[in-house]
């Protein structure tokens, strides 16, 4: 969805020495949005409307960043989203989302724009869907999920975004327990009816009742200890005899189990990691990639995909990310305020290393396996969603999309990797499309649990913008880590580096 101020007529009501009142109109003359700008930046209260005249969203802006309480509504006037932004456009505190039916869809807290603490989700009829906890943006702790019929679907432990240990899944009412193993650098063992995980700077214990019901979880991580007794665990009963041995008897190691293609509607619930790479990239643990449910975290970017001030710089940024900075230009970017510097020297340490993750869920629900492409791959890792769509991510992606054929003509593929919640991706795609009229032609992969970000060592708010070229052997032969949010190589930079790889 494009920014409403991009369409229709805009009326500016100038106040002497003060802010400018702005009213954007639909083609039929009805009000689309109204608020004010100061020095071409959005400030103060803004209200957005549907063509029918009903409110779509309302909240305040500060220097083109959403701030304070915001509310969104469906076209019929029922609540859609509600939450608060910190200064700088970062979600914070309690956020809620509603189904069109009026029933609550999700509720939980954000900390500096990352989901943190307990979250609950409901089906459209009000019945429980899922519950669990996040640790600053990734699932961490016990999660349970059930169908709209009230029957259990799965339960188990996440550790820093990875499914580990004994997970119970249900297919047509039949329960199955799978030992998914442990993260790299950790170990686990059964002690009577307790599964104990230790190592890699964390520990966890899952205790099971006599009838095989997990009834207590204790986590210790970064000096914090949390004991949980999740509601609804009584639903999740299974025959654990294949995993829980008699006291004092060591359990036989179980091989990893790959669910069949019928396990999910999209045919994938588990993906094995590549061969652990050598230092300095931390080896990736066994990656459990799952298809997130629609609406699993509120990302209400409508109706403001890109801020009005950002749009004014979009054309210049697309030119810069296509050909490089113009030495004769006199703008924010070329003066160095946000512009290209020299890149992060840490990028050199990535050269000749293996990419720590090569399989990604795509934005269309398919799986991207870089090892099967059999050609060099340009990997562009975005910053991700931080309060609102990043203008630099959108314009870099637009520049690459505009020149996508040049990369394919050079014998390479381009993959854009988007870190963070899946629900942020449609807004990102819409923003790119608003800048070039068409959606990006290259695949967009998701790094939901930040496994690639952390494996590369480029974690920041979500990620430092990073561009890589991977050769046909899977090695990193070109690496550029941005020293600022705008610091990214141009299309010409990438093509020049690519010519050295493709002989």
User: Domain 1-126, what fold?
Assistant: Outer Surface Protein A; domain 3 (3.90.930)
For 200-316, strand residue ranges (E) read 202-208, 214-221, 224-228
Q: Which of 449, 476, 474 minimizes the C-alpha distance to 462?
A: 449
State how far the Cα of 230 lies from the Cα of 168, in Å rounded to an integer: 15
- For residue 217 the two structure tokens come to 């979880």
Long-range contacts of 188-191 (CB under 8 A, 24+ apart): 188/164, 189/250, 189/251, 190/243, 190/244, 190/245, 190/251
State how far the Cα of 482 lies from the Cα of 56, in Å rounded to an integer: 36
Contact present, 287 and 359 (Cβ < 8 Å): yes
Q: What value, to the nearest 5°, has the Cα angle with vertex 91 and ends 292 and 294?
A: 20
Tens-level pLDDT at each residue, the chain (503 residues)? 223 333 334 444 444 445 889 888 888 999 888 999 888 788 999 998 888 999 988 999 888 788 999 998 999 999 988 999 888 778 899 999 898 899 998 899 888 877 888 888 888 899 988 888 888 777 778 888 888 888 888 888 887 777 888 888 887 777 777 777 787 778 888 877 788 888 776 778 888 776 556 777 777 765 555 656 554 454 444 444 444 433 322 222 222 222 222 222 222 222 222 222 222 232 233 333 343 333 355 555 444 556 666 777 888 899 999 998 776 665 555 544 444 556 788 899 999 999 988 888 787 777 788 988 889 999 999 998 766 778 899 999 999 999 999 999 999 999 999 987 776 787 788 888 888 888 899 999 988 778 899 889 998 878 999 999 999 988 999 999 998 888 999 999 999 999 988 76
The string of DSSP letters for 482-499 reads: -SSTT----HHHHHHHHH
Q: What's the full length of the chain, in residues?
A: 503
Contact present, 255 and 243 (Cβ < 8 Å): no
Determine phi and psi for 366, rounding to 5 degrees: -90, 180
Domain 308-501 CATH class label: alpha beta
- For residue 61 the two structure tokens come to 């802006």
Q: Do domains 1-126 and 308-501 have the same CATH topology?
A: no
Domain assignments of the chain as residue spans, ordered by start? 1-126, 138-257, 308-501
Sign of CA dihedral 316, 318, 322, 325: positive
Exposed/middle/buried for residue 225 (C-beta within 10 Å: 0-12, 13-18, 19+): exposed
The model scores a pTM over 0.85: no
**Residue 349 in 3-state DSSP?**
helix
């Amino acid at each position: 969805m494009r920014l409403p101020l991009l369409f229709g007529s805009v009326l500016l009501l100038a106040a002497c020495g003060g802010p400018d009142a702005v009213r954007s109109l639909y083609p039929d003359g009805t009000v689309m949005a109204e608020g004010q700008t100061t020095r071409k930046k959005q400030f103060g209260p803004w209200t957005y409307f549907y063509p029918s005249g009903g409110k779509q969203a309302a909240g305040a802006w500060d220097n083109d960043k959403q701030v304070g309480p915001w509310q969104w509504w469906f076209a019929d006037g029922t609540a859609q989203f509600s939450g608060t932004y910190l200064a700088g456009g970062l979600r914070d505190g309690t956020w809620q989302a509603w189904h069109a039916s009026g029933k609550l869809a999700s509720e939980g807290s954000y900390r500096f724009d990352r989901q943190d603490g307990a979250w609950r989700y409901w089906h459209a009829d009000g019945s429980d869907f899922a519950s669990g906890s996040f640790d600053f943006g990734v699932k961490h702790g016990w999660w349970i999920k059930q169908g709209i019929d009230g029957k259990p679907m799965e339960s188990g432990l996440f550790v820093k975004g990875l499914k580990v240990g004994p997970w119970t899944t249900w297919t047509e009412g039949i329960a199955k327990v799978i030992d998914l193993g442990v993260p790299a650098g950790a170990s686990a063992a059964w002690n009577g009816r307790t599964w104990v995980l230790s190592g890699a700077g964390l520990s966890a214990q899952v205790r099971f009742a006599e009838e095989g019901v997990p009834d207590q979880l204790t986590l210790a991580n970064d000096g914090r200890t949390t004991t949980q007794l999740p509601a609804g665990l009584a639903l999740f009963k299974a025959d654990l005899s294949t995993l829980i041995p008699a006291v004092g008897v060591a359990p036989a190691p179980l091989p990893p189990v790959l669910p069949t293609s019928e396990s999910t509607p999209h045919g994938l619930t588990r993906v094995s990691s590549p061969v652990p790479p050598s230092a300095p990239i931390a080896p990736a643990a066994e990656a459990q990639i799952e298809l997130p449910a629609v609406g699993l975290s509120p990302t209400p970017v409508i109706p403001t995909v890109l801020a009005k001030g950002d749009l004014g710089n979009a054309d210049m940024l697309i030119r810069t990310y296509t050909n490089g900075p113009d030495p004769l230009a006199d703008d924010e970017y070329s003066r160095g305020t946000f512009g290209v510097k020299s890149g992060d020297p840490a990028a050199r340490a990535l050269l000749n290393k293996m990419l720590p993750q090569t399989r990604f869920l795509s934005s269309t629900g398919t799986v991207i396996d870089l090892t099967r492409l059999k050609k060099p791959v340009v990997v562009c890792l975005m910053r991700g969603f931080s309060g609102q769509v990043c203008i630099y991510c959108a314009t870099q992606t637009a520049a690459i999309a505009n020149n996508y054929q040049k990369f394919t003509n050079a014998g390479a593929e381009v993959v854009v990797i988007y870190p963070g919640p899946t629900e942020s991706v449609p807004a990102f795609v819409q923003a790119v499309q608003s800048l070039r009229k068409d959606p990006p032609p290259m695949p967009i992969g998701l790094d939901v649990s930040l496994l690639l970000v952390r494996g590369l060592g480029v974690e920041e708010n979500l990620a430092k913008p990073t561009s890589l070229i991977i050769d046909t052997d899977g090695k990193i032969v070109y690496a550029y880590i941005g020293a600022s949010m705008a610091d990214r190589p141009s299309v010409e930079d990438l093509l020049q580096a690519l010519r050295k790889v493709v002989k």
